Amino acid sequence: MHIRTAPSERHTLSVTVTNEPGILARIAGMFSARGYNIESLTVADISDDDMISRITIVTTGTPAVIEQVVAQLDRLVPVHKVTDLTVLGDHVERELALVKVAGVGDQRIEALRLADVFRANVVDTTILSFVFEVTGNSIKIDRFIELMSEIGLVEVARAGVVAMARGKEAV
C-alpha cells in the first residue's frame, strides 16, 4: 500500500485575533493538529491599544482543505475574522528579507549592480560583505537570493509574507 497525496494550491489568509497569551500557539497548534501546512506566518499588533493582532498565513492545500483551514481558524474563540485573500481576488503581498553576501572585487560590484536592479538597500557593509534589505513579493525575493547565491550568499533572514486586498475597503 502507498499513501496518496492530492495536488494543492497556495492561499494567503489574513486573520485578526485578540492579543492574548497563547494565541499564536493556539493557531499554530491547530494547523499541526489537523495536518495543515504553514508556509509562512507573520504576526504583529495593529491596534492602538495592544488588543488586536493581524496574522498573515500562507498555507497550501487542496481547495477542500483550504476551506476547512478557514472554518477551523474561524471557530477559535479569540479569532475575530478570517479572510482568504486569494479567494477575495486581487491583493498585494510583500515580504522583507535581509541577505548577507560576502565577496571581493568583481563580486562586490556585481552584487551592488543586482541590488540596484532589485531596488535592494545596503543596510550594513564591511570590506568583505554587504547586508541587503530587499522587499517585494516572495518570488522576487526568491530570485534575488538565487542570484546572490552565485555571488557569495552567506545568510538569509526573511520576515514572511504580509498581504492586503487592493481597493479602498478594509477586510
When the beta carbons of 30 and 112 are compared against another protein, the nearer one is 30
* CB 148, CB 108: distance < 8 Å: no
Which of 21, 35, 89, 105 lies at the binding interface for another protein (CB under 8 A)? 21
Short-list 17, 53, 30, 57, CA closest to 41: 57
Cβ atoms of 99 and 132 within 8 Å: the answer is yes
What whole-number distance in Å separates Cα of residue 157 and Cα of residue 43? 16
Asked if 18 interacts with another protein (CB under 8 A), we say yes
DSSP state of 80: E
Told to check if 38 binds another protein by CB under 8 A, we report no
Residue range at the interface with another protein (CB under 8 A); choices 70-78, 108-116, 120-128, 159-167: 70-78
CB of 63 to another protein, least distance (A): 10
Cell triple for residue 68?
Answer: 476547512
Q: In the set 22, 35, 89, 105, which binds another protein (CB under 8 A)?
A: 22
Size of the site for another protein (CB under 8 A): 21
